[in-house]
Structure 1
Amino acid sequence: MRTASILLGILGLLGLFAGFLPLLGWVNWFATLPPALLGLLLGVLARDRGATTFNAVVIGLAALRLLLGGGFF
């Protein structure tokens, strides 16, 4: 479960990079948050602090980007 959690976090991180581009903030709703949330859940279930922290950071950055962009842009 640890490996799946980290892979989902990396997938979310790739979506986060795309979501930082102007006018692509909506990508965070579909390509960043769902995999990172699932990775966070798997990290908690696997009791792996590194994977949990990594996914929490990705979720936090995506939430910050959505907050600064008004939720969509």
Structure 2
Amino acid sequence: MLNIFSALIGLITLILMIPAVFPLLGALNWILVPMALVGALVGMASSSNGGRNFCLIVAAFGAFRLFLGGGLI
């Protein structure tokens, strides 16, 4: 059950990251990356790895986007 909840958090975070790829909206990733990491923490309490891995990939994508924009853009 926690794996499904973790995957759901990751999916919601990924959907919210779609506008964050546009210029001047990249600062939204400062909220979404920790949200994905919370999903990964929830996934760590599960016996499966799927939700945790998905949340870590989403967090890595958001962190990469922050890196490309210099942290603000």
Q: TM-score, normalising length from structure 1? A: 0.90
Alpha-carbon deviation of 1:38?
Answer: 1.0
Alpha-carbon deviation of 1:17?
Answer: 1.0
Show the counterpart of 2:37: 37
Alpha-carbon deviation of 1:2?
Answer: 1.4
Percent identity, please: 36
Gaps of 5+ in 2: none
SS in 2 for 1:23: coil
1:67 and 2:51 matched? no
Contact 2:10–2:39 (CA<8 Å) still a contact in 1?
A: yes
Q: Which runs of 4+ in 1 moved over 6 A?
A: none
Contact 2:3–2:52 (CA<8 Å) still a contact in 1?
A: no
Alpha-carbon deviation of 1:52?
Answer: 1.2
**Matched letter for residue 63 of structure 2:** A
| Within-5 A mapping of 1:1-73 | 1-30=2-31, 32-73=32-73
CA RMSD of aligned residues (A): 1.0
Contact 1:15–1:28 (CA<8 Å) still a contact in 2?
A: no
SS in 1 for 2:23: coil
